[in-house]
Amino acid sequence: MLKITNLHASVDGTPILKGIDLEVRPGEVHAIMGPNGSGKSTLSQVLAGNDSYEITDGEIILDDQSILEMPTEQRAREGVFLAFQYPVEIPGVSNLQFLRTAMNSIREYRGEEEIDAVSFMKKAKEKIKQVNLDPAFLKRGVNEGFSGGEKKRNEIMQMLMLEPKLAILDETDSGLDIDALKVVADGVNALKSPERSVIMVTHYQRLLDYIVPDYVHVLAKGKIIKSGGKELALELEEKGYGWLGIEDE
Amino acid sequence: MSESDKSVDELIKSEYKHGFVTDIESDTFEPGLNEDVIRRISARKNEPEWMLEWRLKAYDAWKEMAEPQWAHVKFPQIDFDAISYYSAPKSQENAPKSLDEVDPELLRTYEKLGIPLHERARLAGVAVDVVFDSVSVATTFKDQLAKAGVIFCPISEAIQEHPELVKKYLGKVVAQKDNYYSALNSAVFSDGSFVYIPKGVRCPLELSTYFRINEANTGQFERTLIIADEGSHVSYLEGCTAPMRDENQLHAAVVELVLLDDSEIKYSTVQNWYPGDENGNGGIYNFVTKRANCIGKNSKVSWTQVETGSAITWKYPSCILKGDNSVGEFYSVALTNNFQQADTGTKMIHIGKNTKSTIISKGISAGKSDASYRGLVKFGPNADNARNYTQCDSLLIGDKCGAHTFPYIESKNKTGVIEHEATTSKVSDDQLFLCQQRGMDAERAVSMIVNGFCKEVFKELPMEFAVEATKLLEVSLEGSVG
């Protein structure tokens, strides 16, 4: 599904990622943990194609093709989804209109017809319930006046609508209370299938109680310094990042 | 240059889709303006003596006037002697009695513009008057309207057939000497639409006029007069296009609306005159005076405009709220791109008691363009309990454009309430990245964001024109983000 080799990336000339190697196979859930400033969010943004970051070396292969030259929207149409750490507001554009435009852009790329209004509404209502938001949110502007937790749930709602094959969650758990965390986890678990993969970027272990990863990687100073199974996360929780000889800033 | 600026640039590079020229023989006056030209225009129209005198009076006034300099726009001095003041397709010399007699070449032009007179009008239930250069070409649905007692015809015809109405109201809302361009228009106007809705009648159809400039070096000076008698109701829409030419062309129209007791006029404009090319060459100078006078009590006028065209727009559809309890509304979307300049807004003059006005203005600037909102809210000494609400929002796309707001407020009455809100925002890189990450290309994302921004105005447009406006915005923004 996804193969990252020796990935180097910098922003404004400052190197952030310094040689990442990671392979994610279909159906797998990977957690990427690490202290603040380790490059976790940069990795998510680079995978999604944010052009504020410059790739200086390495390769990213998605389903046997390099995506380095692919613009953001094409990566999205190929099935890459990023749940943002800080979702932005788009005033005046309703969630419905936003989702419909997004879905139809993806469908058009795949050579499919536009989704009909009835099936679209049905699906939207079903998914908004799944993330425990009032259906009235569908008509509100994208994230317009939403609370932090509502924004994160809205991200998950978008993910459920678009059904990506690779979902990247960038600190989706940060700032969530336990109920919202469960809603987010339920959403991700509902999406899991043998064909879909998930990368969870997180600072804390607690999300992993609800979404159980197959692999845990520790990222520090732009490199993966340790990989293991789900027990690695528990070990980190217990011993802190200092155990691996790195500081949590 | 950031990626999003690049796409802004690309979006901007779209082409004007109505830029073709119709090859048709015309009867066009040689350029220049003098008394003789005015006499000839009047003679071409077989006008009565009073009309000619009215024109000459306006011409005398115009000669003494100077062009206004206060607008936030820049353009070279206009040579009024380089403009032709009359142009008519030759085949119109014996004006058609029905659509079947209209030159097929002309009809094809309107089809290209997306107005197949026959089908579209019939489907939409819209009665259309079409003004090509200086003359009115066809008015559909005349019979059906006549049954309701509605008069909808070219103003040249109204001068012949309904002189009492024309004499009574022409120039009464916008005086000849109101401004430089209204004086010029009063002297040389050649056609336009005339509407009269009798007492208590709700006009059974949406009325619509399409204006088209075809000839080179001509100015278009149309004159529209709409009279809503007591308790009547009408919805009227105008649309405008022109061919692509390197030189600038002048369009100086006057629109007058008269509202008697308990009447209502909804006037919608989709203005898409040729805006000039991406280097700022050519395009229409759109210097228009539009005003409504709510003479009657409880009357209501609503201006809705979507302005995407013209090199320069200079336009302030206004409401004089004279009758007690009268209501004025102004909903505007003005989009400028490339080197376009727009100085547009409204005037709400509250004279009567309990008068209310609402102003919603949405300005969108892209490319190197400049958009200004200029609005006046005035409460007279007798305007007890007058209320105004103004909301002015500007949206910037890219970092080379400008947005300005010039609100003027004058109140001579202590019981009035005026509210003013203004915002300026920018289509941010983060918003674009979110949209692109969800699969949309930048162009679609910008168009979606802009449409969201304009929603409050679009919902005021008649349904099918709202669709047209949305599409027009998309086309006008093409190439504006990357």
In the structure, what pLDDT confidence band is assigned to residue B383 with cuts at 50, 70 and 90? very high
Task: Report the residue from B3, B441, B451 with minimal CB separation from A51.
Answer: B3
| Unique residue bearing structure tokens 């389903």 | A63
Q: How far is A201 from chain B (nearest CA, A)?
A: 17
ipTM of the complex, rounded to two decimals: 0.95
Contacts of A51 in chain B (CB under 8 A): 3
Cβ A76–B436 below 8 Å, yes or no?
Answer: yes
Residue of B nearest to A168 (CA): B437
Contacts of B334 (CB under 8 A, 6+ apart): B305, B307, B313, B342, B344, B361, B362, B363, B364, B371, B373
- Structure tokens, B45: 């129209």
Taking contacts as CB-CB distances below 8 angstroms, the residues of chain B near A102 are 435, 438-440
Check CB contact under 8 Å for A90 and B449.
yes
Cβ separation B444–A101 shorter than 8 A = yes
Contact B346, B330 (CB under 8 A): yes
- Compare A205 and B354 and report the one with higher pLDDT: B354
Q: By the CB < 8 Å criterion, does A141 face chain B?
A: yes
Cβ–Cβ of B453/A162 closer than 8 Å? no
Of B435, B441, B453, the CB nearest to A92: B453
Contact criterion met (CB < 8 Å) for A93 and B440: no
Listed residue (A51, A44, A161, A188) closest to A102, CA to CA: A161
Min Cα–Cα distance to chain B from A87, Å: 8
Q: What is the pLDDT of residue B279?
A: 75
Q: Answer whether B431 sits within 8 Å of A90, measured CB to CB.
A: yes
Give pLDDT tens digits for B280-291.
Answer: 777 778 889 999
Cα–Cα dist A231/B476, whole Å: 57
* Residue A125 CA: distances (Å) to CA of A122, A138, B448: 5, 8, 22
Is residue B219 within 8 Å of B253, Cβ to Cβ?
Answer: no
Q: Which candidate from B3, B425, B438 shows the least CB-CB separation from A76?
A: B438
- Chain A residue with minimum CA distance to B436: A73
Q: Compute the distance between CA of residue A48 and CA of residue A167 in angstroms, rounded to an integer.
A: 10
pLDDT classification of B81: cutoffs 50, 70, 90:
confident
Q: What is the mean pLDDT of residues B453-476?
A: 76
Tens of pLDDT, residues B123-136: 344 556 666 655 55
In angstroms, the CA A47 to CA A55 distance is 10
Instruction: Give the gap in angstroms from C-alpha A235 to the nearest C-alpha of chain B.
Output: 34
CB atoms within 10 A of CB B177: 16
Among the partner-chain residues B438, B440, B455, the one whose CB lies closest to the CB of A92 is: B455
Q: What is the pLDDT of residue A170?
A: 94
Identity of the residue numbered A55: I
Q: For residues B311-324, give the mean pLDDT.
A: 92
Q: What is the average pLDDT across B68-91? A: 76
Smallest CA–CA distance, residue A242 to chain B, in Å, is 35
Chain A: give the shortest CA distance to residue B1, in Å: 12
> What are the residue ranges spanned by the domains of chain B?
2-426
CA distances from B240 to B227, B325, B344 (A): 22, 33, 17
In this predicted structure, what is the pLDDT of residue B99? 55
From A151's Cα to the closest Cα of chain B, the distance in A is 13
Q: Enumerate the residues of chain A whose CB falls inside 8 A of the CB of residue B453.
A: 91-92
The CA angle B254-B256-B262, to the nearest 5 degrees, is 165
Residue B28 is predicted with a pLDDT of 75
pLDDT at B482: 45
CB B383 within 8 A of CB B370: no
pLDDT band with cut points at 50, 70 and 90 for residue B367: confident
Residue contact A90–B3, C-beta within 8 A: no
Identify residues of B whose CB sits under 8 angstroms from chain A CBs: 3, 425, 428-431, 433-442, 444, 448-449, 451-455
Judging contacts by C-beta atoms under 8 Å, the chain B residues touching residue A158 are: 438
Confidence of residue B349 (pLDDT cuts 50, 70, 90): very high
Neighbours of B381 (CB within 10 A): 10
**Tell me, what's the pLDDT at B211?**
66
How close does chain B come to A89, measured CA to CA in Å? Answer: 7
pLDDT at B119: 42
Instruction: State the average pLDDT for chain B.
Output: 81
CA-based nearest distance A240→chain B, Å: 33
B12's enclosing H/E stretch is: helix B3-12
- pLDDT of B85 reads 80
A161 touches chain B (CB under 8 A): no
**Residue carrying structure tokens 């700032």:** A175
Instruction: Quote the pLDDT of residue B6.
Output: 41
- On chain B, the residues whose CB falls within 8 A of the CB of A72 are 433, 436-437
For residue B8, pLDDT beyond 70:
no
Using CB atoms within 10 Å of the CB of residue B329, give its burial: 0 to 12 exposed, 13 to 18 middle, 19+ buried: buried
Q: Is the pLDDT of residue B140 over 90?
A: no
Report the candidate in B451, B332, B320, B450 with the shortest Cα–Cα distance to residue B391: B332
pLDDT at B204 over 70: yes
pTM of the model: 0.80
Digit-coded pLDDT (tens) for B25-68:
666 777 888 898 899 889 988 899 999 999 999 999 999 998 88
Provide the pairing of β-strand B135-139 with B193-197.
Answer: unpaired
Pairwise CB contact (< 8 Å): B433 & A77: no
Of B437, B444, B455, the CB nearest to A76: B437
Distance of CA A219 to the CA centre of its chain: 16
Mutate to test the interface with A, among B2, B424, B436 (most CBs of A within 10 A): B436
At B183, is the secondary structure helix, strand, or coil?
helix
Nearest to A106 among B433, B439, B448 (CB): B439
Q: What is the pLDDT of residue B198?
A: 96
Is pLDDT larger for residue B392 or for residue B95? B392
Segment B117-126, tens digit of pLDDT: 444 444 344 5
pLDDT of residue A185: 94
**Most A CBs within 10 Å, among B5, B437, B440, B448, to test the A interface:** B437
> Higher-confidence residue: B334 or B241?
B334
- Chain B residues in contact with A87 by the CB 8 A cut-off are 434
Contacts of A54 in chain B (CB under 8 A): none
Shortest CA gap B427–chain A (Å): 9
* Cβ atoms A219, A33 nearer than 8 A: yes
Contacts of B34 (CB under 8 A, 6+ apart): none
Check whether B78 has a pLDDT greater than 70: yes
Is the CB of residue B449 less than 8 Å from the CB of residue B410?
A: no
Q: How far is CA B479 from CA A104, B230, B366, B440, in A?
A: 21, 48, 10, 15
Q: Do B434 and A84 touch (CB under 8 A)?
A: yes
Going residue by residue through chain A, which has 249 residues, state the pLDDT in tens, using 9 for 90 and above.
999 999 999 999 999 999 999 999 999 999 999 888 899 999 999 999 999 999 999 999 999 999 999 999 999 999 999 999 999 999 889 999 999 999 999 999 999 999 998 999 999 999 999 999 999 999 999 999 999 999 999 999 999 999 999 999 999 888 888 888 999 999 999 999 999 999 999 988 888 999 999 999 999 999 999 999 999 988 888 888 887 777 654
- Compute the radius of gyration of chain A from its Cα atoms: 18
Torsion (CA) B463, B469, B471, B474 in degrees, nearest 10: -140
Choose among B178, B417, B194: nearest CA to B320. Answer: B178
Cross-chain Cβ contact A105/B438 below 8 Å: yes
Q: How far is A51 from chain B (nearest CA, A)?
A: 7
Phi-psi region for residue B385, left (φ > 0), alpha (ψ -120 to 50) or beta?
left
B444: which chain A residues are within 8 Å (Cβ-Cβ)?
101, 105
User: What band does B7 get if pLDDT is binned at 50, 70 and 90?
Assistant: very low
- CB distance B425–A91 less than 8 Å? yes
Residue-wise pLDDT for B186-198, tens only, equals 999 988 889 999 9
pLDDT number for residue B122: 40
